Chains A and B, each alone.
Chain A
Amino acid sequence: MPDLIEPICITAYTATSALGRGLADHLAALRARRSGLQANDFTNEPLACAIGRVEGLERAALPDGHEAYECRNNRLAWLAIEADGFHEQARAAIARYGADRVALLVATSTSSIGATEEAYAQLDGERMPMALRRPEVHTPHSLGIFLSHLLGTRGPCLTTATACSSSAKIFAKAERMIRLGVVDAAILAGVDTLCGSVIFGFNSLELVAPEPCRPFDERRRGISIGEAAGFALVERKAPAAAPRLIGWGESSDAHHMSTPHPQGLGARLALEDALARAGIAAAQVDYINLHGTATPKNDEVEAGVIATAFNETTRASSSKGWTGHTLGAAGILESVISLLAIEHGLVPGTLNCEQLDPVCGPQVTLQNESRDVRIALSNSFGFGGSNCTLAFARGDCA
């Protein structure tokens, strides 16, 4: 079992998704049980499914001097970082600690591949069209390059791309770097945008539901794909009220590229490691934001792990009925939802789930509940068998 870690402080956070821009939009949509999912109007070739699309992205041009990074994914990053004053708070932290003492850890599963798709749709003979012949948007690190130029950080800067666990794993990286003292703070960003690769890719695996996704419903038929960006600023020290990251666990299924381990072995290992690093027992967890993608297999395996590991007072739900599965951004978006749950004492239910799969234990919550959330977990699992569980605590409970 891993050693206990010293909690680190989350001093600012924000998200932009199909639910809107910033924390207030997310909280309002969660409270009103208003889904952001809509009929697919994104792909040129029609595909009957629901998507979680961010309003206004097409008009959100990057600031002057950043034209080389122009693409849908970086536009979403730009739109999102301006919400909730995050951009100013990130700059203030850089000024406070020094640019070389702040890490910039970003995460995405498809980065700006939308720009590469666009280039291939309008090839000029064998070449990309001139306007898209920009190396900065055809690399997995596009988001990191854009944000490092925008913010001027000079600490370690890297992109984590482990499919749907990507933006959960950057919290673990930040904790390690802060613990070793190689940085004093880290700016975390997870951004993924709609693109043909994921919509038709998941469709080829027969994992896209024709209707809005229904996590943990016994009639669930797969995922709805969404786009989102989330940001968090983490620091070693902060006022007592700031929520804390108190634990994390990472594991590999070592089972299959796109199907979870049938007994949830990897998910269980990530959970146990997160609890051990936090120094807490499962019974102390008030709320778990589940991965809950609404594929038949993911939900069955995850429900089994939760049912056996937690007692019946712990609440657990999937928020993907609101936002869709935002892939590489899911880890940080759902961390933000977990932090909202802590801050506002709101346990979101599981939107679109009407007939709960009997495989679920009493933890899985369908309706919203008001209750004290002192400790919340967030689960993220990805292709390649990559699993990550994060543990957060209210400032006065860390």
Chain B
Amino acid sequence: MSVLEIRVEGMGFWAPGWPDWNAARAGLRGEGQADPAVVKPSPTSLAAAERRRAPLPVLLACEIAAQACVASARAADALPSVFVSTHGDLVITDYMCSTLASAPRELSPIRFHNSVHNAPAGYWTIAAHCHAASTSISSWHASFAIALFEAAVQAIADDTPVLLSAYDAESPGPLAEVSPASTLFGVAMVIAPCAGSRPDLRLRLQPSSAGARLSPALPADFQALASTNPMAAQSLPLLAAIAAGAGGVIELAASDQTTLGVELCA
């Protein structure tokens, strides 16, 4: 079987100005405006103390994950999860590398344990009281497509709904030049195997076809997100198509030689 068929049971979304999927969907259809009051994710799923102290990627990934769980009506404590980020937490990388260059013995233990790529998954499973499997991955500029594929493999192989939380945060200091990102962006989905019902998406990993891929035009606000955040660039073509509610095939980069063809079953 080389085609994976899945249902999308719920979506989560957060970017500055766009606090959830309903707002983003309207914006992607050209029917809504950004809300200037939305500047920082604040997931109520985290305890208040952790909401104050946790790094931004943790807040972002947990906010969108919680939204997708609510939208899917699935219990968060039972869902296996796939967390994905192109760059991980570059604010912590910048802190670690700066401190190591000046005073290595002064490294903060909290910031060190928050530096692991699976920190958002760790905070999420604690907040959700979830003992199910959780993975944290990256595939550089193919991160979104490969994580959607991996989540689908897990959902179908183990016959379970799976939570996907995809995010990238800002890149500070000298890292900004090699790993550019200047805004926060995250999208989450709860996907499930079809079990005889109609699929929402059909995924097919294939060699890249010759010639440029056509990307649907994005509204200006979302084009700006795509040019300032790698996860936005990777996921927004599909999200715009989902928001439009039309059928068709979107091709997402799955490596520099392969694409993930995503067929929307209208």
Contacts and interface: CB of A to CB of B under 8 A. Distances in A.
A141 B139 contact: yes
A390 to B, nearest CB: 13
Contact of B178 (A100, A117, A135, A253): A135
Contact of B125 (A158, A172, A181, A254): A254
Interface stretch (B34-42, B59-67, B127-135, B182-190): B127-135
Nearest to B123: A257
A204 B112 CA distance: 8
A128 B122 contact: no
A385 B122 contact: yes
B137 A158 contact: yes
B217 interface: no
A44 to B, nearest CB: 8
A257 B157 contact: no
A85 B158 CA distance: 34
Interface string A118-146: 01110100111000011100111100110
Nearest to B208: A154
A204 B175 CA distance: 24
B45 interface: no
B255 A154 contact: yes
Contacts of B158: 2, 176
A66 interface: no
B228 interface: no
A255 B122 CA distance: 9
A135 B178 CA distance: 5
A384 B123 CA distance: 7
Contacts, number: 217
A182 B153 CA distance: 9
A139 B87 contact: yes
Interface stretch (A11-19, A27-35, A161-169, A346-354): A161-169
B109 interface: yes
Nearest to B88: A140
B196 interface: no
A177 interface: yes
Interface in B125-163: 125-126, 128-140, 142-143, 146-147, 149-150, 153-154, 156-158
B205 interface: yes
Contact of B150 (A47, A128, A156, A162): A156
Contact of B86 (A119, A123, A139): A139
Given A120-B98, A134-B178, A161 B139 contact: no
B146 A158 contact: yes
A104 B121 CA distance: 23
Interface stretch (A194-202, A212-220, A286-294, A355-363): A194-202
A157 interface: yes
B4 to A, nearest CB: 7
B126 A254 contact: yes
Contacts of A138: 175, 178-179
B71 interface: no
Interface stretch (B12-20, B22-30, B100-108, B234-242): B100-108
B174 interface: yes
Contact of A154 (B112, B173, B258): B258
A180 B153 CA distance: 7
Interface in B214-240: none
Contacts of A135: 178-179
Contacts of A120: 97-98, 100-101, 174
A116 interface: yes
A251 B178 contact: no
Contacts of A258: 113
A138 B205 CA distance: 26
Max count, chain B CB within 10 A of own CB: residue among A140, A172, A383: A140
Contact of A160 (B135, B156, B178): B135
Nearest to B179: A138
Given A117-B97, A141-B138, A182-B205, A161 B118 contact: yes
A123 B174 contact: yes
Given A117-B101, A134-B178, A169-B135, A161 B117 contact: yes
Interface of B: 1-2, 4, 85-88, 93, 96-98, 100-101, 104-105, 107-109, 112-119, 121-123, 125-126, 128-140, 142-143, 146-147, 149-150, 153-154, 156-158, 173-175, 177-179, 205-207, 254-255, 257-258
5 contacts: A161-B117, A162-B118, A180-B1, A180-B156, A197-B112
